[in-house]
Structure 1
């Protein structure tokens, strides 16, 4: 039942691919790509951005769970009229939008149950409690 060496399938192992990958990593970009890049016009003036037009902007905070909870909390407070508008006047109350953000945080709480650190869990539960208390304290009809 053993096959003779003549009948065994030959297996070829390509060991050269590793050295080829190394050569490609060390080789400069293709000459054709360099030619295309050199024929394109080069801007001498920096492109104006919002930062250069309106002055220096602060960098956004690092992405994280606390930042997400804070953003949703801020949006809910704004929808409840607790944050003044840019003109300094009280914000417009829109309880249905506030309810949306509260429900979003509640959904986040349900979906992340058991996967949060104790600090994150406490932050989320306290934020939800505060948002719900602010919601029921507003005496405006739901839109």
Structure 2
């Protein structure tokens, strides 16, 4: 526990980092702006992917969306949903089991912290997935 005996162990504290940041900011202010058309405080425009055919706005990020995403992956892995690229359904029981297990972990870790609708949705989806998994075997 004595650090004095080991000369190679040193704690280096960089107390100068704030000054370095300040100097970098000043240097940036002094340099001429390379792109005058893009002000630094303005947010970047949305990517073009959102305007592609079939693409829309993302739904709000919430717990039920997370449940739905994991359940969809599990159903697809059980062969209930075809692959959009090929149109063919394929079975991957190990992936389906993993998705169901992930939802079970969410159920365990969020116990007592969900509102009644979220809790009911999670229980229902888990029940449906487990029954579908047993039927697919």
Call closer, same or farther: CA 1:53–1:123 in 2, change over 3 Å. closer
Counterpart for residue 92 of structure 2: 94
- TM-score by structure 2 length? 0.65
Matching of residues 1-143 of structure 1 within 5 Å = 32-36=27-31, 38-42=32-36, 49-51=47-49, 54-55=52-53, 57-87=55-85, 89-139=87-137
- TM-score by structure 1 length? 0.63
Where in structure 1 are there 5+ consecutive unaligned residues? 1-29
Where in structure 2 are there 5+ consecutive unaligned residues? 1-24, 39-43
Q: CA deviation at 1:63?
A: 1.0
Q: CA deviation at 1:88?
A: 5.7
Instruction: Check conservation: 2:64, 2:118, Cα contact below 8 A.
Output: yes
RMSD of aligned C-alpha atoms? Answer: 2.9
In 2, the alpha carbon distance for the partners of 1:53 and 1:117 equals 35
Call closer, same or farther: CA 1:99–1:47 in 2, change over 3 Å. same
Call closer, same or farther: CA 1:113–1:49 in 2, change over 3 Å. closer
Cα deviation, 1:44-71, whole Å, max 9, x if unaligned, reads 9x99944278347312111111111011
Instruction: Check conservation: 1:82, 1:90, Cα contact below 8 A.
Output: no
In 2, the alpha carbon distance for the partners of 1:128 and 1:118 equals 15
Q: CA deviation at 1:92?
A: 1.0
Alignment length (residue pairs): 108
The structure with the larger Rg is 1
Instruction: Check conservation: 2:50, 2:57, Cα contact below 8 A.
Output: no
In 1, the alpha carbon distance for the partners of 2:54 and 2:27 equals 39
Call closer, same or farther: CA 1:47–1:78 in 2, change over 3 Å. same
